[in-house]
């Protein structure tokens, strides 16, 4: 039986990103997104899901693993985060599920990205996490970004030389080790964060991983903060990558992007709705499973590798044949004369 479509609000704010942004600016960014969310909740009835872009929820989630050691200078801050983060999550859930709000009989779930600080016995690990919160303010799904951006989220070989992170303005991010699904009314969303949507084999492997477990992935969702690019053509490029991921997997893809370009893309690659660049806008979209099985899931990247191999073979064959039949090498830019020198000196009749 066909499942009913879901009504999803993609909250696109417009806040450029600065590497030296302080905590107060982060809180202001949260207020900006909260206002857009309240407006969406007021204007649209029966929202099933509200999605914020990457890192727009400023407060981090803190996890204390067994044997955790918190540095003395971080203890007070850790306690503040452990107290304030659950409170802020519950407040967001309450705002989306007010009893006197339109469509209050429909539970509205909240999907957002934030940092997860996991303190262990040896060190603190930082993850970029997508969290799904139910109507009671409980986290029911967590996905840790699996493909970090070089120099933006990690420095090569810094694991061997940890002091590198003491002299640069970024903190190394730990990559997640498994995909996750976020289930909303029996519809499974497969999340990816930021530029993960530019990595085709990653998205394919995540979808196939759940298919092996008998869990169908119905919708792809990209949570991204493109405020780093100040409205440049990178935003258009990122959107086009999303179109390709939708086609390759025959899954609808929704994008929640800070500063744009948020979008709702069909499994055929058609962009149904899209937001502007560097302007706030709430996109309320309808998503429904596609149901098709893509050829890319069966063949993977073998056709591309076959074409690359064939190109190398043809190039090698051309070089070998040119040597065997004695085709002379010519220097670039030198064109042989059309008339032989001896013919040029013959008198005309």
Task: Name the percent of the chain lying above pLDDT 90.
Answer: 51
Longest dimension (CA), the chain: 106
Dump pLDDT digits (tens) for 35-92: 999 999 888 878 999 999 998 998 999 988 888 888 888 888 999 999 999 999 999 9
Output the CA–CA distances (angstroms, integers) from residue 266 to 187, 194, 247, 272, in the order listed.
16, 19, 8, 7
Which whole number is the average pLDDT over 214-232? Answer: 90
The 10s digit of each residue's pLDDT in 88-111 is 999 999 989 887 655 556 789 999
Q: What is the pLDDT of residue 274?
A: 95
Region 174-183: mean pLDDT is 92
How large is the average pLDDT for residues 331-337? 61
Measure the CA–CA gap between 21 and 234, rounded to whole angstroms. 22
- If you write DSSP's letter for every residue of 289-300 in order, what string do you get? ---PPPHHHHHT
If 0-12 CB within 10 Å is exposed, 13-18 middle and 19+ buried, where does residue 51 land? buried
User: With bands split at pLDDT 50, 70 and 90, how would you rate the model's confidence at 23?
Assistant: confident
Share of the chain above pLDDT 70, in %: 85
- At residue 341, does pLDDT exceed 70? no
Q: Of 21-30, 179-188, 268-277, 283-292, which range is least confident?
A: 21-30
Residue 80, SS3 per DSSP: helix
* Residue 346: per-residue pLDDT: 58
Catalogue all structural domains in the chain, each as residue range(s) with its CATH number.
6-299 (3.60.110.10), 302-344 (no CATH)
Residue 330's Cβ-count burial label (10 Å; 0-12, 13-18, 19+) is exposed
- In which band, very low, low, confident or very high, does the pLDDT at 326 lie, cut at 50, 70 and 90? low
Residue 124's CB is within 10 A of a number of other CB atoms, namely 19
Q: How confident is the prediction for the chain on average, in pLDDT?
A: 86
- For residue 27, name the pLDDT band (cuts at 50, 70, 90): confident
User: Looking at the predicted structure, is the pLDDT value of residue 1 above 60?
Assistant: no
Checking if the pLDDT of 159 tops 70, the result is no
- Does the pLDDT of residue 261 top 70, yes or no? yes
| 42 secondary structure, DSSP code | H
Q: Is 236 left (phi over 0), alpha (psi -120 to 50) or beta?
A: alpha
Q: Is the pLDDT of residue 153 over 80?
A: no
Q: What is the mean pLDDT of residues 275-301?
A: 89
Helices 200-212 and 234-249: angle between axes, nearest 10 degrees:
30
What integer pLDDT is reported at residue 100 of this predicted model?
65
Confidence grade of residue 336 (pLDDT, cut at 50, 70, 90): low
Cβ neighbours of residue 270 closer than 8 Å, sequence gap 6 or more: none
Model pLDDT, residue 118: 92
In the three-class reduction of DSSP (H, G, I as helix; E, B as strand; rest coil), residue 147 is classed as coil
| DSSP 3-state of 48 | coil
Q: How far apart are CA 166 and CA 169, in angstroms?
A: 8
Across the range 203-209, mean pLDDT stands at 94
The H or E element spanning position 271 is strand 271-274
Structure tokens at 334: 């030198």
Query: In this model, does residue 142 exceed pLDDT 60?
Result: yes
Is the pLDDT at 134 greater than 80? The verdict is: yes
Least Cα distance to 272 among 259, 281, 283, 260 occurs for: 283
Measured CA to CA, the distance from residue 255 to residue 223 in angstroms comes to 6
Q: How confident is the model at residue 29 (pLDDT cuts 50, 70, 90)?
A: confident
């Amino acid at each position: 039986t066909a499942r009913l479509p879901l009504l999803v609000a993609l909250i696109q704010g417009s806040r450029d990103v600065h590497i030296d942004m302080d905590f107060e600016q982060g809180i202001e960014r949260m207020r900006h997104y909260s206002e857009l969310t309240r407006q969406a909740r007021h204007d649209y009835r029966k929202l099933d899901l509200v999605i914020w872009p990457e890192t727009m929820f400023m407060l981090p989630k803190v996890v204390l693993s067994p044997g955790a050691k918190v540095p003395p200078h971080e203890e007070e801050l850790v306690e503040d985060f452990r107290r304030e983060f659950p409170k802020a999550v519950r407040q967001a859930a309450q705002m989306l599920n007010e009893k006197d709000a339109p469509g209050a009989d429909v539970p509205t779930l909240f999907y957002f990205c934030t940092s997860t600080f996991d303190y262990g016995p040896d060190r603190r690990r930082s993850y970029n996490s997508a969290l799904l919160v139910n109507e009671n303010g409980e986290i029911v799904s967590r996905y840790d970004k699996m493909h970090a951006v070089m120099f933006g989220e990690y420095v090569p070989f810094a694991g061997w030389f940890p002091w590198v992170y003491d002299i640069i303005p970024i903190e190394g991010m730990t990559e997640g080790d498994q995909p996750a699904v976020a289930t909303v009314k029996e519809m499974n969303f497969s999340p990816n964060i930021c530029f993960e949507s530019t990595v085709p084999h990653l998205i394919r492997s995540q979808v196939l991983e759940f298919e092996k477990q008998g869990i169908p992935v119905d919708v792809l969702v990209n949570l991204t903060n493109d405020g780093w690019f100040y409205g440049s053509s990178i935003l258009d490029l990122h959107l086009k990558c999303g179109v390709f991921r939708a086609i390759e997997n025959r899954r609808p893809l929704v994008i929640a992007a800070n500063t744009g370009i948020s979008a709702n893309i069909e499994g055929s690659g058609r962009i149904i709705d899209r937001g502007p660049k560097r302007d706030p806008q709430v996109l309320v979209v309808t998503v429904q499973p596609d149901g098709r099985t893509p050829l890319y899931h069966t063949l993977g990247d073998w056709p591309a590798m076959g074409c690359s191999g064939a190109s190398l073979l043809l190039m090698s064959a051309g070089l070998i044949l040119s040597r065997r039949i004695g085709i002379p090498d010519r220097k670039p830019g030198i064109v042989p004369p059309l008339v032989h020198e001896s013919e040029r000196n013959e008198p005309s009749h």
